[in-house]
A and B are shown apart, each in its own frame.
Chain A
Amino acid sequence: MTLAPELKDMSPEKLLAPVLSAFWDEDRSWTLDVYRRHDGYEGLRKALAMSPDDLIAYVKDSGLRGRGGAGFPTGMKWQFIPQGDGKPHYLVVNADESEPGTCKDIPLLFANPHSLIEGMIIACYAIRSSHAFIYLRGEVVPVLRRLHSAVREAYEAGFLGENILGSGLDLDITVHAGAGAYICGEETALLDSLEGRRGQPRLRPPFPAVAGLYACPTVVNNVESIASVPAIMQRGKEWFRSMGSEKSPGFTLYSLSGHVASPGQYEAPLGITLRQLLDMSGGMRPGHRLKFWTPGGSSTPMFTDEHLDVPLDYEGVGAAGSMLGTKALQCFDETTCVVRAVTRWTEFYAHESCGKCTPCREGTYWLVQLLRDIEAGKGQMSDLDKLNDIADNINGKSFCALGDGAASPIFSSLKYFRDEYEQHITGRGCPFDPAKSTAWADRTEVNA
């Protein structure tokens, strides 16, 4: 797709494309000074020289798609905002990064918060908004400090406030800390939460573009999506489209974690493969092999070592039966019990289900009971079909995607590892030793 097979042997310098992460290794990278030394707020100047409608068209033409999971075209989201309707418009940035395995927005905001703020100003100019919000999950106080500091710097430099750079644009940004709820990463639950309510998803339509925050037209975008806009404006949509594929253009952050030699952030054109990422970074930890992995967090159906060459873009991952999601590549080696992994994820979904929709609220609870029994060797063969059946009754039958996400690990693990479930049942227990999966399992010195 994106990267032809002959690119396989290319060096990391060619395969990676640090843009947002390009200067994270510099001292005080989070400050306005350092950001401006790297062309910071230059994209904004170019955007302000265009008409808002032309700007929306430009971002649409760039092909930028949402980096929060669903992959919806960012420019199109902006275009849906009705103009001349006499209502206030709002931009809300979803910084509630909580999808298990996902760890890209938090380091991005820690090291480079101004890319988000510049992107927000550009987006607000486009959708004619004068008040924007950053909904940051509460459990990341170091990032909250940096956001407070960056917003203050932007006000002092005249990038926020009234008549920004003489454009006539007025904009205030409010940094809002959440209070611990995975569901608030779902955009309508996030809006309810930002309105001071329990975070429960809304029935759509109406979509947020028509009736979002305070029932006014609202764009909800992921951090990385908005933070990518300044570079597109500064370096051009053609530059952006020179990376990735026709339908999945551009660069993105891939987060490698788990039993790999070098976990971390890898910014690359869309379409790189897990094999390429592992090849360049030292592979799995020594002496071990990949067993299963998620392409985009726990809510995306898991893959196995059969899928190492799937191009990690929206179409490639979709065609292979999963979703690109948040590009959270959680890699587990052969020491890991898939039943244990799925049980833990399911416990998470049961804990985080907001309780609004019966299939999700009840179904996740039942799944946990069955999985705990299976893991403990107390399951029956008929439980496996029951798991599938319950997951099927959750999937697509709730207001939001949390229920679908809960079903994904069940379906996919039964598809690839049914025999391992059966082993737990016939062998009356888990055949794995959890001590062998720990980060320190292969170390010679004793840590525990």
Chain B
Amino acid sequence: MTTSSSERGVSLGMPELPAPAYPDDVRARLETDAREIIARYPDSRSALLPLLHLVQAEEGHVTRTGMRFCAEMLGLTTAEVTAVATFYTMYRRRPSGDYQVGVCTNTLCAVMGGDAIFEELQEHLGVGNGETTDDGKVTLEHIECNAACDFAPVVMVNWEFFDNQTPSSARRLVDDLRAGRPVTPTRGAPLCTFKETARVLAGFPDERDGAVESGGSAGPASLVGLKLAKGEGASARVVHPRGEAARTEAPHDPSPTEHLSSHDAPQDTSASDPSHPSPPTTPDGGASPRPADTAGPAAEEGE
């Protein structure tokens, strides 16, 4: 399963030379992090997955140098490390973009529009599955179920949630990413680069101010049952059906982070229950915060 020698233009029969090591200063820095990771586990080998995330944070993908580093830190062979690195889909094996855009095309999202979104993005970006745009900004992928089916169709960017997407919202999303405009996920922190994300995955907490708070307590779909149970929510008789709610919104150019289906359209909650007002700038439940610097309508809920 390793990269074959023929792919690298080396004649058959000639084993690949060992990977070069990291420069001394890089290695010293990574060793400090690696020791911290290893100390979390009773057995050092358990640190392999986070160490692979760590080397991915360094270079943007898992290189042979990175795998050699993991092997040396853990007393494994590079073959043992390669076997693991090639098993898991989150480890990239070639240089890729700053933003990994993953469109869920598992059955539910696909049926709800994920297939159409993925097709649209392939055409719009001129890249296929797993390929990167020429500017090195966006790598497009189709992904499997990401545990957000009540927000379908879902797009993930660097493993942050962009819920309830449409082909046009997704197109605008990748345009914003390529133009360097700020992009805020529906649930999650303002986007960082793929490398920075990989460092969080290696187990180093995101120290950015507000990163943990971003996205509020729960997305709108997570709260529908709770609201019904509290007698706050729209009951069967008054709920905006999908589509109808969308029509009630003023025509505008929705931002990629905007929800486009009924359950996050204006809810009856605050209007029908004055004791639970929901201020326009902080939507009830905190979903989809809209920082001042984000383009788009000021509030989609609570009005």
Contacts and interface: CB of A to CB of B under 8 A. Distances in A.
B227 A265 contact: no
Nearest to A131: B42
B161 to A, nearest CB: 7
B113 interface: yes
A18 interface: yes
B226 A141 contact: no
Interface residues of B, number: 104
A179 B90 contact: yes
B108 A25 contact: no
B261 to A, nearest CB: 6
Contacts of A174: 40-41
B222 A107 contact: yes
Contacts of A319: none
Interface in B274-293: 282, 284-286
Interface in B189-234: 189, 197, 200-203, 205-206, 211-231, 233-234
A265 B144 contact: no
Contacts of B261: 439
B212 A149 contact: yes
Contacts of B156: 139
A16 interface: yes
B46 A194 contact: yes
Nearest to B143: A139
Contacts of B46: 176, 194-196
B242 interface: yes
Contacts of B47: 196
Contacts of A179: 49, 52-53, 88-91, 201
Nearest to A17: B229
Nearest to A278: B236
B45 A281 contact: no
Interface stretch (B3-11, B24-32, B163-171): B163-171
Contacts of B167: 447-448
A267 to B, nearest CB: 6
Contacts of A348: 106-107, 144-145
Contact of A140 (B42, B159, B239): B159
A317 interface: no
Contacts of A341: 107, 111
Nearest to B276: A25
Interface stretch (B131-139, B173-181, B243-251): B243-251
Interface residues of A, number: 104
Nearest to A199: B87
B217 A145 contact: no
Nearest to B222: A107
A88 B41 CA distance: 13
A181 interface: yes
B226 A12 contact: no
B105 interface: yes
Interface in A92-122: 97-103, 105-107, 110-111
Interface in A258-308: 258-259, 261-268, 279-283, 285-286, 298
A265 B150 contact: yes
A242 to B, nearest CB: 16
A142 interface: yes
A16 B247 contact: no
A301 to B, nearest CB: 15
Contact of B111 (A102, A264, A282, A434): A434
A344 B110 CA distance: 9
Interface in A409-448: 434-435, 437-440, 442-445, 447-448
B148 A282 contact: no
A293 B203 CA distance: 37
Interface stretch (A27-35, A45-53, A71-79, A161-169): A27-35
A29 B215 CA distance: 12
Nearest to A409: B107
A26 B188 CA distance: 17
B84 A196 contact: yes
A94 B201 CA distance: 17
B112 interface: yes
A22 B230 CA distance: 9
A206 to B, nearest CB: 18
Given A101-B149, A110-B218, A264 B224 contact: yes
Nearest to B205: A148
A13 interface: yes
Given A12-B229, A139-B146, A448 B120 contact: yes
Nearest to B43: A214
A265 B222 CA distance: 5
Given A100-B107, A265-B222, A142 B247 contact: no
Interface in B235-282: 235-236, 239, 241-244, 246-247, 251, 260-263, 282
A197 interface: yes
Contacts of B226: 16, 18, 21-22, 24-25, 265, 267
Contacts of A148: 200, 203, 205-206, 212
Given A145-B200, A180-B90, A193-B49, A282 B74 contact: no
Nearest to B168: A447
A258 B152 contact: yes
A97 B224 contact: no
B301 interface: no
Nearest to A172: B40
Given A264-B150, A280-B228, A98 B260 contact: no
Contacts of B12: none
A282 B108 contact: no
Interface of A: 11-13, 16-18, 21-22, 24-30, 88, 97-103, 105-107, 110-111, 131, 137-142, 144-146, 148-149, 152, 174-182, 193-199, 214, 254-259, 261-268, 279-283, 285-286, 298, 328, 330, 332, 336, 340-341, 344-345, 348, 351-352, 354, 434-435, 437-440, 442-445, 447-448
Given A21-B223, A141-B160, A180-B90, 5 more contacts: A100-B149, A176-B50, A193-B49, A256-B150, A265-B224
Interface of B: 40-43, 45-50, 52-53, 74, 83-84, 87-91, 105-108, 110-113, 115-116, 120, 143-153, 156, 158-161, 164, 166-169, 185, 187-189, 197, 200-203, 205-206, 211-231, 233-236, 239, 241-244, 246-247, 251, 260-263, 282, 284-286
